[in-house]
Every structure is written in C-alpha cells, then in structure tokens.
A and B are shown apart, each in its own frame.
Chain A
Amino acid sequence: MAIGTSTDLGSGPAAGPGLVPAAGPARQPRLRLPRSPKVLIGLAGMIGFLTLAVIGPWIAPYDPDRSFSTTASFPQPPSAAHLLGTTQQQQDVLSQLLAGGRSTVLVAFVAGLVATLLSVLIGVTAGYTGGAADDLLSMLANLFLIMPALPLLIVIFGFLPPSQGGDDLLIGLIIAVTGWAFGARVLRAQTLSLRSRDYVESARITGERGWRIITHEILPNLIPVLASSFLFTVLYGVGTYTALAFLGLVNPNHWSWGGMLFYAQVAGAEQSGYWWLFLPPGLAVALLGTALALLNFGIDEFINPRLRAAGLSRRRARLAGAGGTAARPPRRFVLGVTPVVRGREPR
C-alpha cells in the first residue's frame, strides 16, 4: 500500500491494469483471446480441474475416510492396491486427492466470485462517483489491502466453532471479504480513466442515467480487467484456503488438499521421507495455481500487447524469410540498433 501506484503490481502474476483496449462506446470488445500456448494450457488446466472438482469424489477408488488396516502404523508407499500409498491412518491417498479437489475448487471459485462482485461494486462506484464517496471507499479498500489477510483469517477461523468450519460456502465468503480490495483498486483506476473518455462524457451530457452509463458504456470495456481480477482472486482463494486447511482451522472431516498437507505435517512426512503424503496435494495446488496464472498472463498480454514475448515467433520468422533469398529477420530486437535485413528489392 504505497504512493504512486499507477501501474499496480502484486506478488501475484503481473496484475498491471495496463491499458484498457480503446473500444468505442457501448461496443462489446470482441473476446478474441490470443491463441498463445500459455492461454491454451491455462484454459485446459482450468477446465481439467473444474471437471475434477465435479466428478472427483465419484471416481475415487475408495472412500477417503476408510481405514484399511488397524495394525500398520506407518504410511505405506504407493502400491498396486493404493496408487498413491496410504496415510498414517491407512487411508487411500488417491481417493483423498480426488475428493479433496472439490472443496478446494469450490471454495476458491466462491471466493473469487463474491470478491469480484464486491470489487466491482465498490471499485466502479468509487471511480465513477468521485468526491467524498470515492475517498471513503478508497480508504476502505486500502485498509483491507494493507491488513495482512492470512493472520486476520486465522484469528477469525480460530474463533469459529468447528461445526461451522466445514461449510464451504461460508469459508468462501469469509475469504472473499479479505480478497476484494485489490480488484477494487484496479477497477477504480480503470473506471476513472474510462470516465474521462469522450463517449462517456457525451453520454453524461446528454443526460443518460448514471447506472445506465455504467452498465452500458463502462462495464463492457472492463471485461478483460475483470477476468484478470477474477482469476487472480481465485488464485488467492486457492492459496488461502489451502493454508487455512493446513493449519487445521478447517473442519478436518471435510477433505481438501490443504487438509491432506495438515495430516502430512502431523505424520512428519518431510522428515521421514513419506513423499506421497505431501507431493500429490501440493502439486495439485501448484498446478491449479499455475493454470490460473497462465490464463491470467494471457489476458494481461491481451490487455497490454507490449508484454507479449518479443521478437518474432519462429513461425513468423520462417514465413518472412520464405519470400526468396531474404535474410531472416532477427529473433531479438535490440533497442537502439535497428536491424538491417536485406533481400528485398527497393520499389
């Protein structure tokens, strides 16, 4: 929380608002996502995890709570019967992994949705209205932004009776309350810049109502930023929920990846080399996060085309050179040394 944040940054994927594409008045910017590999992988990953969330518990080979032996006291390494081994309580790890996906994904998306709604409400209102309301709402957003979210959530969940610690919806809501502030700031900045555009000014002068202007002129142009903000918040939700579960603040009877890591910690997995206890859930969280981040990158590059991997892609360079004896255009452009690429007849 500091001075001069005209280009916002987070420790998350570059959440720079950059430039809103100069779409005109009330024209839906065409949602042409660039077909870069990043976006495709991210999209595929996200769809994969969403599917897992839905069908996970059904395709699990065993009941995740079921204990397979009362005699063995150590976690068993992967075997034919248990593809990912067993926990200390002799429960099947794979089943837990598949079942745990649902609550993680659910909580994260609920958090993302609610937080995005809140951020739109507060951010756009602040940016459009201006004046005292803007000052107040901005102050509120900055407050939430600066207060460290996880410690606050730990205190909240610490005081929460265990019975309610298992309600995914409630958890998602509480997480959302701590996560809306960043999106609100970004949206406010964009709304401010859009508000001064000519077509919005003219709409105001001709007497269009405020809320109509917001929904018809401003919101459509905010869609890319909204999408990026949503993904970022979902990413935040995944991380935060996993952390809370890892600390044992979430009802342990409710399977989640963070919970699996909690039990891994209890079993001393890292000290004893029981890698199958922490690697699968941790990797799952990391991969889900990576998919979201890649998708977010793709949207960021769409918003700010300068961020695309520079130079020419190999394919385009090949095409360029295909027209005869032309020298290949350089893959890397060095600032201040314009390349000289001969092979073209002067017209």
Chain B
Amino acid sequence: MTAGQAPAAPARATAWRPLLEVRGLCVDYGAGPDAVHAVAGADLTLHAGEVLGLAGESGSGKSTLAYAITRLLRAPGMITGGSVDYHPEPGRTVDLLAAGESGLRVLRWSQISVVMQSAMNALNPVLSIGSQLTDVLRAHQPALGKAGAQDRAAGLLAMVGISADRLGSHPHQLSGGMRQRVMIAMALALEPQIVIMDEPTTALDVVTQRDILEELMELRARLGFAVLFITHDLSLLIEIADSIAVMYAGRLVERADATALFRAPRHPYTLGLLRSFPALHGPRQHLTGIPGSPPDLRGLPAGCVFHPRCRYALDRCRTDAPALLPLAEDGGRLAACWLQHGAAAAPAELAVPAPGADLAAAPTVRTQP
C-alpha cells in the first residue's frame, strides 16, 4: 500500500484499495519447445483511482501483460500461469482468468476499458462515430433505449470537447487528436473502474499530446477511475503517474511512487532509463543510455536477465535471478535486484534517499504550471 499519498478524487470514496491484483502471471506466445515467454511471473497491483504507469522498451512485454490481464491477447498468445483477481467492490473478487466468454462480456467495458495507440485503427472506418459510441450503451444498458443512448453519446463527446454534430461523422473525417479524444470518450462511456491505455499519445504531436493528457487527468479527477498507462516514455509518466512499474524482458524490475522513482531509482535499468533523456533544467549531463540491446526473448541470459547490460553486476547476478521483493525502506517500493537485497551495499546512485515526508503530505498536483 502506498502510505502517505493524498487520496484520489472525491467521486470514489474508496481510495487506495487494491482493485486489480496480478500474481505471478506468465504469458507465452506459441506452445511447446518453441514458445516465447513474453511475460514471466509478473506481480502487479492497481489501486482504485490510481494512475499506474507501466514503462519499458519495445518488446519488454508491457502491452502483452496489459492485454493478457483483460484476456484480449491475440493468438498465438496464451496465459500459462498466475492469477488475475479483480475486486469491483471491497470483499468481492472476480477471477479474470477463470471467467468464460459470457462472464468476460459483462465485465468488459463496464468495468475495464481499453484505449489503444492508434485511433485510426481502433475505430471502425465504415461506421459513424455515433454508432460506435452507442453500441456499447445499447449492449450494456439496453434500458436506455435508442434516444437515451444518443443523448448520452452526445454528452460523452461534449465531455472531451467535441460538438454533438460530429455524431454522424466517420473516423476518416476527424483529425488525429479528435479521434483519440473520441476513443477516450468511448472508453469512458460506461464509467469503468479501470482504463487501460496502451501508448495513447505516442502517435500524436507533442502539442496535441499535452492537451489530451491534461483532459485525461481532468476526467480522471472527476470520475475517479484507475488508469494503467503503458508507455515507453518514462518522462511522460513522471508527470501524470502516481506510481510507476518498470518492465524488462517480460519481468517487472521495479515499482515505486512516481516521484520516488524519478529522484531515487533503485534498479540499474531504471537508472539507465532515467539517464537516457535530458532534463530541461539543471546542469548539462552526459547522456549515458544503456549499453547493449534488449535480449531476444527466446534466448534469455541465465540469472538476472539484465546482468549483461548492467555496470553493477555482481557474480551472483549471473547465476541467481532476483525476485521482485519489497525494499526495507518505507513507501511500499519493490525492486528485483541483488544490489538492494543482498549483503553488499548498493552503489550511491542507487541509494539516493527517497523524497521524504514533506512530499507525502502535499496532494499530488496533476495540472501543469
């Protein structure tokens, strides 16, 4: 539990209770000896109203993990182990891995919705925007009726700043930013508890990206849904996320509050990522990046998967894979590194004191100055 953080927006009173618990999730592509282990033993907890950023390079398995959680992974992906428990209310648990097609159908979109990277691909090109907004409403809330669904669709568009006369337009008639907004409106149609966003702004220009993110955070503050935000852009997460989880080669290597991760990383990979982009203020740094390249998932190194690229690697790292364990310090941080859990002390860069109590009391500010 992330103690000391300001509670979420007032719309949902239940703040910080665990909403989605993923334990030891394993996802493979293909079966048999040729199977690729895209995700190996992932542990993740998403709390109500939280913005959890999932960061990592391409091929780290972050999208795979997100889609596997919702059972939307395409063939030949399959889940080979672990558990995914969803708690819609305190005391109620839904095992997402055991759910059948009809069970999933009820949950989908009303509890968990998805925003994809490319709105042009995610919107059906031959149907109008309006019908793509109302179809969910008609399917999950048939009592609304046709007119009611239309009104609500218009309201959804207004929520993201698009006028209602666009209901009859088709996706190709809108700009990229507008399409993405429509996707967000679509995702919020049933006021879900969780919205999974898979690189929602990567395809947009920086200005539109900023606008959309601001709108998103406003909506989040108003409606109080939790967000699982997947991106390769760590700098983005620093601004909008409450907590950040870092993935590498199908494993989670670190998880912490956003500010703590940014100021005081505990895993060498995180450190490398942070050092890969320059800060706008402060002294000029030497960008070091991370030597080497991400491993082929078919031929992972023994021991810690990161050790060939790690400048701090110990002998132990070559043979024993570290588990994602809580750190001794406060703040509910997790890291999978022998430097943090071993006998030896961690190097100075990885032992920076976390931002202390003074930050804990202040509410996390979402809007940008």
Contact = CB atoms under 8 A, between A and B. Distances in A.
A317 B31 contact: yes
A347 B32 contact: no
B284 to A, nearest CB: 35
B80 A344 contact: yes
B78 A329 contact: yes
Interface stretch (B66-74, B178-186, B289-297, B307-315): B66-74
B72 A338 contact: yes
B77 A319 contact: no
Contacts of A312: 31, 76
Interface stretch (B35-43, B53-61, B157-165, B270-278): B35-43
Contacts of B35: 320
Given A320-B35, A338-B71, A346 B78 contact: no
A323 to B, nearest CB: 7
A309 interface: no
Contact of B68 (A329, A338, A346): A338
Contacts of A347: 26, 37, 40-41, 321
Interface in B16-55: 24-26, 28, 31-33, 35, 37, 40-41
A337 B32 contact: no
Contacts, number: 73
A341 B79 contact: yes
A341 B32 contact: no
A335 interface: yes
A210 interface: no
B67 A344 contact: no
B344 interface: no
A301 to B, nearest CB: 16
Given A336-B72, A347-B37, A347-B321, A319 B78 contact: no
Chief secondary structure at chain B's binding surface: mixed
Contacts of B80: 340-344
Contacts of B101: 334, 336-337
Nearest to A319: B32
Interface size class of B (residues with CB under 8 A): 20 to 34
A334 B321 CA distance: 35
Given A337-B101, A339-B78, A346-B41, A329 B31 contact: yes
Interface size class of A (residues with CB under 8 A): 20 to 34
A319 B30 CA distance: 12
Contacts of B321: 347
A344 B40 CA distance: 11
A338 B33 contact: no
A310 interface: yes
Contacts of B26: 344, 346-347
A330 B101 CA distance: 15
B25 to A, nearest CB: 8
B116 to A, nearest CB: 14
Interface in A265-320: 310-312, 316-317, 319-320
B32 A316 contact: yes
B31 A316 contact: yes
Contact of A320 (B31, B67, B81): B31
Given A320-B32, A346-B41, A347-B40, A341 B24 contact: no
A333 interface: yes
Given A319-B33, A320-B31, A342-B81, A333 B41 contact: no
B249 to A, nearest CB: 11
A336 B107 CA distance: 13
Contacts of A336: 71-72, 101, 104
Contacts of A334: 101
A317 B79 CA distance: 15
Given A323-B32, A335-B74, A346 B82 contact: yes
Interface string A40-75: 000000000000000000000000000000000000
A124 to B, nearest CB: 31
Nearest to B26: A346
A336 to B, nearest CB: 6
Interface of B: 24-26, 28, 31-33, 35, 37, 40-41, 67-68, 71-82, 97-98, 100-101, 104, 321
15 contacts: A312-B76, A319-B31, A323-B32, A329-B31, A338-B71, A338-B77, A340-B98, A341-B80, A342-B81, A343-B80, A344-B26, A344-B28, A346-B26, A346-B82, A347-B37
